[in-house]
Structure 1
Amino acid sequence: MMQPTSIRDVAQHAGVSVGTVSNVLNRPDEVSAELLVRVTRAIDELGYVPNDAARRLRKGVSSAVGFVVLNGQNPFFNDVVRGAEDEASRHGIAILYGNTDEDADRERLYLDLFEEQQVRGVLIAPFGDIQPRLERLRRRGIRAVLVDRFGGSSRYSSVSVDSVAGGRMAVEHLIETGRRRIAFVGGPFEIRQVQDRLAGARVAAENAEGQVELEVVATTAMTVEQGVAAGTRIMARPPGQRPDALFAANDLLALGLLQSLVSDGRAQVPEHIAIIGFDDISFAGAAAVPLSSMRQPSTMIGRTALRILLEENGDPELIPRQTVFQPELVVRRSTDPAR
């Protein structure tokens, strides 16, 4: 079997010392332009691939950051990861991506994997309470930043959107359009964002002038399929017992609700039932009935989280910070005023 090219092979081919090749790989700013060209050409000609694990042991720093997301099917999280990747590329860092699919066991699996890999740090949109697990990572020298989850008084920095304010704004908008029987559709309630968006919806309903009914239609996941199922249950009711507006905890649920109502044909959107979602993913404006939504600055969330993680790696004494963005109401046809 042919042995892989070694750093000594590169040094011999370029006519330089092993130390010079090491400097080119790890400290190129300390190498002259002429030597940099010679060594780089030798690396290309021999097809040398640096052993990243060995380099990590020598330097004591990984070239990767782990990112655990809550739902890989949701384009919102794809945009958040893209923002983190954009920032990571500026620092020569790779993002290792894991999707928990709202499953605590899968979440533990990815965190175990990232711990074994000794990543530089972890970005995580958590499912439930993971503080004990993050404490373990911290003891191993692996810092973490919460993403799309407010850290509160936690020992961990976080980057999130004010979901309580977003829930309040969404329901206030529905009330302003003339709706009075509103259903919040979302779940599972182990997800903090779902809790917060419902809390904001309740504030809006309680503070409204006149009577506003707010019910909860629970789902087991934040998916299009669960939105379709919830819409089917709603349409099984007699017309007088159906809500006149639906606030979905995310856009995937809202799109499922819209699909269900349009397919059923007995209730029109927005004439009979208005729908508003949360996230403002790219598909929202292209839906059969363009979907109103609460917009989150998704790529900025990912970029900011990665930047904070690197800053904390550089200075472990930094006090954890909670960065909270404000959501933006995007109004489209699905919440046109009631006639």
Structure 2
Amino acid sequence: MTTTAPRRRASISDVARLARVSVGTVSNVLNRPDRVSPATRERVVAAIDELEFVPNGSARQLRAGTITTAGAIVLDVANPFFTDVARGIEDRLDEAGYTLMLASSDEEPEREARYLRLFEEHGVQGVMVVPATDELDHLESLRARGLRVVLLDRPSPSDTLSSVAVDDRAGAAAATQHLVGLGHERLAFLNGPHSIRQCADRSDGIRSALAAADMDPDEALVEVTIRSLNADGGQAGTQRVLALEDRPTAMVCVNDLTALGALRSLRIAGVPVPSGMAVVGYDDVAFAGELATPLTSVRQPTHQLGYRAADLLLDADDTVAHVTFQPELVVRESTTGVG
């Protein structure tokens, strides 16, 4: 029996050789077609077609001198909050005939930077990013190179980077006011690192609400920093709270996944909710109201957040704009004990 050796995949060098141009010119055709003359671009695209270097659909986009793809980087696409945000992005991009490249940074700046490089190499029209840190110089550089950039779920401190965000200070303050109104005098806050802007803003919101209620935040609040903003992180953080000698009677969680882990930890420890510990989540994802003890949570307009971010990215004038949504506290049994 005879076998046919698999055909070697064409490289960018093969394309350059066939089109009689440099590798750099091929790269420009792939990523920045406006920098290449129409005649040269046509020759490179013909070589790409002949060698099947890229799918035909992409080649057709290259002939038109446009690449209708946008990138988005969130902290964790497995988090239902970001899943809903991504759907909003996708819906808006689909209306404009764009496709979405989606990635998770896992809260790691190096991973974020790696995906940004990958997106740029693939010639995306722009990127929407939930920054992993407060450092935004790399995003400013992308913008300076002509790539559209929108900060997602993060207010922009810059007059060159557009942003779409929710007022996290207001959301955390509303959760705190609710718990204080129920008579709680000592709260725990399961939070991520303050290098993540949302975490810092939610901490500020809780502290400001306690101060407004004539309570000393340093006395009335125990902030527990967790390594992972998911259910496992919430479970581990709750174990630390339960080990405190002066145990808080209520807990605010940085997101609903963290709250899910907190509820699991409380159940294992035999602590009733809310009589032994009231729990508030953040995001109001789909499962929040379906738990055995429905979760009080700060609702964010997730779909609108993503949709508006994509809308700014697609703005024909490429103007810088800042959009801020207001959150809403949804009260359920995890704090009140009644439906």
Q: Confirm or deny a common fold (TM above 0.5).
A: yes
Of residues 127-136 and 249-258 in structure 1, the stretch that sits farther from structure 2 once superposed is: 127-136
Deviation at 1:287, TM superposition (A): 1.7
Q: Counterparts of 1:57-72 in structure 2 under 5 Å?
A: 57-72=62-77
Q: Counterparts of 1:294-309 in structure 2 under 5 Å?
A: 294-309=298-313
Select 1:172's aligned residue among 172, 177, 182: 177
TM-score of the pair, normalised by structure 1: 0.80
Of residues 58-67 and 179-188 in structure 1, the stretch that sits farther from structure 2 once superposed is: 58-67
Which letter maps to 1:306? A
> Residues 166-219 of structure 1, C-alpha deviation per residue, up to 9 Å, x if partnerless?
111110011011111111111122110000000000011111156671121111
Deviation at 1:248, TM superposition (A): 0.7
Partner of 1:185: 190
TM-score of the pair, normalised by structure 2: 0.80
Partner of 1:119: 124
Aligned partners of 2:134 and 2:196 also within 8 Å: no
Deviation at 1:50, TM superposition (A): 5.9
Aligned partners of 1:246 and 1:273 also within 8 Å: yes
Report the count of equivalent residues.
286
Select 2:237's aligned residue among 226, 230, 235: 230
Q: Indicate how the Cα distance of structure 1 residues 170 and 185 shifts in structure 2: closer, same or farther if over 3 A, else same.
A: same
> Residues 66-106 of structure 1, C-alpha deviation per residue, up to 9 Å, x if partnerless?
01011122100000000111111111111100011111111
Which letter maps to 2:240? R
Deviation at 1:61, TM superposition (A): 1.9
Long gaps (5+) in structure 2: 8-53
Aligned-pair Cα RMSD in Å: 2.0
Q: 1:242, 1:112 → 2: CA distance?
A: 46
Deviation at 1:142, TM superposition (A): 1.2
Deviation at 1:231, TM superposition (A): 1.1
Select 2:317's aligned residue among 303, 315, 318: 315
SS at match of 1:145: strand
Aligned partners of 1:280 and 1:296 also within 8 Å: yes
Q: 2:323, 2:207 → 1: CA distance?
A: 24
Q: 1:170, 1:52 → 2: CA distance?
A: 49
Q: 2:242, 2:134 → 1: CA distance?
A: 35
Q: 1:99, 1:149 → 2: CA distance?
A: 16
Of residues 168-177 and 280-289 in structure 1, the stretch that sits farther from structure 2 once superposed is: 280-289
Deviation at 1:130, TM superposition (A): 4.4
Give identity over the alignment, percent.
Answer: 43
Q: 2:215, 2:149 → 1: CA distance?
A: 46
Long gaps (5+) in structure 1: 4-48
SS at match of 1:217: strand
Q: 2:132, 2:59 → 1: CA distance?
A: 34
Q: 2:259, 2:193 → 1: CA distance?
A: 15
Q: Indicate how the Cα distance of structure 1 residues 210 and 198 shifts in structure 2: closer, same or farther if over 3 A, else same.
A: closer
Partner of 1:109: 114
Q: 2:180, 2:64 → 1: CA distance?
A: 58
Matched, 1:268 2:272: yes
Matched, 1:336 2:336: yes
Partner of 1:293: 297
> Residues 274-315 of structure 1, C-alpha deviation per residue, up to 9 Å, x if partnerless?
01011001111112211100000000111111011100xx22
Deviation at 1:131, TM superposition (A): 2.2
Q: Counterparts of 1:184-203 in structure 2 under 5 Å?
A: 184-203=189-208
Q: Indicate how the Cα distance of structure 1 residues 130 and 62 shifts in structure 2: closer, same or farther if over 3 A, else same.
A: farther
